[in-house]
Homo-oligomer: A and B are copies of this chain.
């Protein structure tokens, strides 16, 4: 498939999910949001599930590149991580919060979706475990269980995104609370500057 066509279908799917939710997603609406016909979309994706799986691939890929950081100091890596997950997403570019919530609500019924979310979750957890373990090794953070901190961080992120999408609650508030909590666990607040 030409990558522009794929991008166009993915972007249109994102807009339909954000406007109508999973329950309102049809090939016709995706066609309406793009320059393609339903026949053209069906030519690329046999089923709605196949299309949504490609959409999820794309979403995870973009999230992964957003999490990539050049920093080496574990404190800077932690701040960069929080910047990435709490940045106010531009729905046209990221399509993250609403679309993720819509597909996540399908995870109990679609094994394929659930597996993708489990992979994403493992990846996020591992990043946090690495940062915390390195920070302890290098003497920047107090002794603590990196797995426990990673569990807290990923659960809080899950909750923050659900609240942002469902309740319209600002992400900033949760970030602040998480920073205070991390300070209690690590003895260092990721909202503070790293003085070299």
Contacts and interface: CB of A to CB of B under 8 A. Distances in A.
Interface of A: 18, 20-24, 98, 101-102, 104-109, 114, 117-118, 121, 148, 151-152, 154-160, 162-163, 165-168, 173-174, 176-178, 180-181, 184-185
Nearest to A178: B152
A114 B167 CA distance: 6
B20 A107 contact: no
A24 B105 CA distance: 12
Quickly give the copy total for this chain.
2
Contacts of A108: 18, 21, 98, 101, 165-166
Given A21-B105, A105-B102, A105-B104, A177 B155 contact: yes
Given A102-B105, A180-B148, A185-B181, A162 B162 contact: yes
Given A21-B108, A105-B105, A181-B184, A117 B167 contact: yes
A21 to B, nearest CB: 5
A46 B78 CA distance: 51
Given A156-B152, A157-B159, A160-B159, A22 B177 contact: no
Contacts of A121: 163, 167
A157 B104 CA distance: 17
B166 A160 contact: no
A173 B158 CA distance: 15
**10 nearest A-B residue pairs (beta carbon):** A159-B159, A105-B105, A158-B159, A184-B184, A107-B166, A155-B159, A23-B23, A104-B166, A152-B177, A151-B177
B173 A163 contact: no
Contact of A166 (B18, B114, B165, B176): B114
